[in-house]
Each structure stands twice: as structure tokens, then as C-alpha cells.
Structure 1
Amino acid sequence: MSTSDASVPRKRRPKKVLSASAKYEIWLQLVRGEATIGQAATSAGVDRSTIIRVRQVAKDGALTALAASRPGTPGKSARDVELEEANAEIDRLGEAVKELAVKLTLLEKKGGLD
């Protein structure tokens, strides 16, 4: 490469978008040890950083799904489980407020509060 070549910017190749199923297949190859990151990138026609990102997103997604899964709740999404937990907390707090209201009423009747 001559010095004049260094001043000419390199053309970036167009960004290739991988489908979800292609990303999944790449992830499976990596998990099974069938391909390295470099091999997967070359095969898919993308940059190594894309493969690294696919691997990280798959790991994060799996961990999120596993954390949200509860025995005996098949087919419920993480959002559904979270909503059920929030509703249970609302019910618990509602009962606590009722109990405190009764105590306050009793104290007021006894003249304990002015």
C-alpha cells in the first residue's frame, strides 16, 4: 500500500441483517463447539463483533427466561408472573391498610387521639 492509498477511506460493506433463526443456529454452533467466533462470522458474512453480540444476547435472554420461570406455571411469560406478584402485593398492602384503619378508629373512639 502506498502513502496515497492510506488517505483513501475504505468502503464499508453493507450491513448484513441476520434473521432470528440464523442467529439461533449460530448460537447453537457456538454452544456445541462446532464453530469458533471467527468461523461463525466468516460463514455468516458478518463481523466478529456481531457474533459476539449474538452470543451475549442469547445468554442474557436465556438467563432472563430461566429467572422468570416458576415451577407449576407453564406457559406464563415473565411479565405475567411479575403482574401476578404485583397484584398479590397490592392485595397484601390493601389488607394492611384496612387493619390500620380499624386500629385508628378504635383509638379515636377511646379518645386516644385528638
Structure 2
Amino acid sequence: MSSNDASVPRKRRPKKVLSPSAKYEIWLRLVRGEVTIAQAATEAGVDRSTVIRVRQVAKDGALAALAASRPGSPGKSQRDFELEEANAEIARLSEAVKELAVKLTLVEGKGGSV
């Protein structure tokens, strides 16, 4: 190895794209303690940072799904719950507008022209 070899940048290996099922399998093996991050990265042919990112995305996704789940209401997504809440708010605001319209009609009717 010559002194010039140290100054030549290493070639990056081509980026490997993992399928969702491959990411899931990596995550499962990490959770079960079957492999370390370094072992999972080597076996998958990716960088350790990729495995760390897979682990973080899986954790974030699981936490979001658990936060959105409500006991006794199977099959509803977070969007469904948000839609139900929005519809309830629309109904509440509609009732408030109706009440204010009635009050305005009464006030204008008593005072004549303003």
C-alpha cells in the first residue's frame, strides 16, 4: 500500500433498498434479541445506520398505532376517529350558530331598526 492510497476516498457501495417485509424481519430479530445491530446490518448487506433507522421507524409506527387504537372499536383507523371528532365538532358548532341566530332575531325584533 503506498502513501497515496490513504488519500484516495473509498468507493461507496451501491445503496441497497430493503423491502418492508425484510425491514420487519430485521426489527423482529432485534426485538427478540437474536441479533445485534451490527449483525443485522452485515446479514442484510446494509449500513448500521439503516438498521438503527428501521428500528426507530418501527418503534414510532408502533407507538402511533397504539395511541390511535381504542378498545372495543376494531377496524377503525386514526383517520376514522379524527373524522368522527370533526363531525361532532361540526354538529356542536351548528347548534351554537342556530342559538345565536335565534337570539339575534329576538334582539332585532324587540329593538326595531338599529
Q: Please, what TM-score do these two structures have when normalized by structure 2? A: 0.91
Q: CA deviation at 1:71?
A: 2.0
Change (3 A) 1:20 1:111: same
Aligned identity (percent) is 84
Cα distance, 1:37–1:113 mapped onto 2, change above 3 Å? farther
* Correspondence 1:89 to 2:89: yes
Q: For 1:68 and 1:93, how far apart are their aligned partners in 2?
A: 25
Distance in 1, matches of 2:3 and 2:105, equals 89
**1:113 and 1:65, CA in 2 relative to 1: closer, same or farther beyond 3 A?**
farther
Say whether residues 1:8 and 2:8 are aligned partners.
Answer: yes
Q: Distance in 2 between matches of 1:90 and 1:113?
A: 32
Q: Structure 2: 5+ residue runs without aligned partners?
A: none
The corresponding residue for 1:111 is: 111
1:1-114 to structure 2, matched below 5 A, reads 1-111=1-111, 114=114
Gapped regions of structure 1 (runs ≥ 5): none
Secondary structure of the equivalent of 1:53? helix
2:85 and 2:61 map into 1 onto residues whose CA distance is 21
Secondary structure of 1:110 counterpart: helix
1:23 is displaced (CA, Å) by: 0.6
Query: Secondary structure, in 3 states, of the residue corresponding to 1:3?
Result: coil
Amino acid at match of 2:54: V
Shift in Å at residue 102 of structure 1? 0.8
Asked if 2 retains the 8 angstrom alpha-carbon contact of 1:68 and 1:78, the reply is yes
In structure 2, the CA distance between the partners of 1:69 and 1:112, relative to structure 1 (3 Å rule), is: farther
Structure 1 letter corresponding to 2:40:
A
Runs of 4+ in 1 over 4 A off after TM superposition: none
Q: Which amino acid in the other structure matches residue 59 of structure 2?
A: K
* Alpha-carbon spacing, 1:42–1:102, altered in 2? closer, same or farther (3 Å): same
Residue correspondences, number? 114
Instruction: Report the alpha carbon displacement of residue 20 of structure 1 after superposing the two structures with TM.
Output: 0.6
Relative to structure 2, which stretch is displaced further, 28-37 or 2-11? 2-11
